[in-house]
Chains A and B, each alone.
Chain A
Amino acid sequence: NAGVTQTPKFQVLKTGQSMTLQCAQDMNHNSMYWYRQDPGMGLRLIYYSASEGTTDKGEVPNGYNVSRLNKREFSLRLESAAPSQTSVYFCASRFGGLETQYFGPGTRLLVL
């Protein structure tokens, strides 16, 4: 099992460009999450999907959209990237009812 995979690993964007971060899990988990990690801030929840077909906002959703394409895949889209969105983005998944979240390796995004 690969666990949680994320693509791309690194990306450089110019202000105003758009891109989609991809996340997939092969553990048959119901819930999936997108976090961003900035220095001194820990991880902050952007969006989550409690189950296939549902999505909801987290703590810092502005400037982002998400799609739960199927049970395996949960993508994060930046429509018009801003320098404030420079960060490391982590996707995570969880089997409903259990505490443990499993994280992917992250996508490092730089917006110039």
Chain B
Amino acid sequence: TQLLEQSPQFLSIQEGENLTVYCNSSSVFSSLQWYRQEPGEGPVLLVTVVTGGEVKKLKRLTFQFGDARKDSSLHITAAQPGDTGLYLCAVRGGGGTSYGKLTFGQGTILTVHP
């Protein structure tokens, strides 16, 4: 059983459409991160959310942390081909001293067609 479940696994949309990606768990987290990974490259951090109910915006991307800190969503408005990539959510490993270890969801592959 995955600690973090991402949905959908695949998303193929046309330029200009809106979309939402979800990251769900039955566990409570102190913080959650979203990464984007482009083909042939390593993941790059987009945002860290730490407070239940928190909303953060990064240009056309809106990130929300659930009130209970068990889930998160990423909403993209007016998607562009440059948004194409793998979107990953991640949380710090369990235990009191995690040393920054991350556990990742399985990812959502987004393709935006011109």
Residues of A participating in the B interface, judged by any CB pair closer than 8 Å: 4, 31, 33, 40-45, 48, 50, 56, 58-59, 90, 92, 94, 96, 99-101, 103-106
Interface-located stretch among B13-21, B59-67, B74-82, B103-111: B103-111
> When the two chains form their complex, are residues A4 and B33 in contact, meaning their CB atoms are under 8 A apart?
no
> When the two chains form their complex, are residues A43 and B101 in contact, meaning their CB atoms are under 8 A apart?
no
Given contacts A40-B107, A43-B102, A106-B41, 16 further A-B contacts (CB under 8 A): A4-B42, A31-B99, A33-B100, A40-B106, A41-B106, A42-B4, A42-B88, A42-B107, A43-B90, A59-B103, A99-B45, A99-B100, A101-B102, A103-B43, A104-B42, A105-B40
Q: Which residues of B contact A59 (CB under 8 A)?
A: 103
Q: Nearest B residue to A49 by beta-carbon distance?
A: B99
Alpha-carbon separation in the docked complex, A104 to B37 (Å):
11
A72 to chain B, nearest CB (A): 17
Q: Nearest A residue to B43 by beta-carbon distance?
A: A103
Q: Which residues of B contact A92 (CB under 8 A)?
A: 42
Q: Nearest B residue to A31 by beta-carbon distance?
A: B100
Alpha-carbon separation in the docked complex, A96 to B43 (Å):
19
> When the two chains form their complex, are residues B99 and A50 in contact, meaning their CB atoms are under 8 A apart?
yes
A111 to chain B, nearest CB (A): 20
Asked if B25 lies at the interface with its beta carbon under 8 angstroms from chain A, I say: no
B38 to chain A, nearest CB (A): 10
> When the two chains form their complex, are residues A42 and B105 in contact, meaning their CB atoms are under 8 A apart?
yes
| Proximity string of chain B (29-57) to chain A, C-beta cutoff 8 Å, 1 when within and 0 when not | 00101000000111111001000000000
Q: Which residues of A contact B12 (CB under 8 A)?
A: none
> When the two chains form their complex, are residues A43 and B33 in contact, meaning their CB atoms are under 8 A apart?
no
Which of A40, A48, A104 meets B99, CB within 8 Å?
Answer: A48
A65 to chain B, nearest CB (A): 18
4 cross-chain pairs, A with B, having the tightest CB-CB distances, nearest first: A103-B42, A42-B104, A50-B99, A42-B106
> When the two chains form their complex, are residues A99 and B33 in contact, meaning their CB atoms are under 8 A apart?
yes
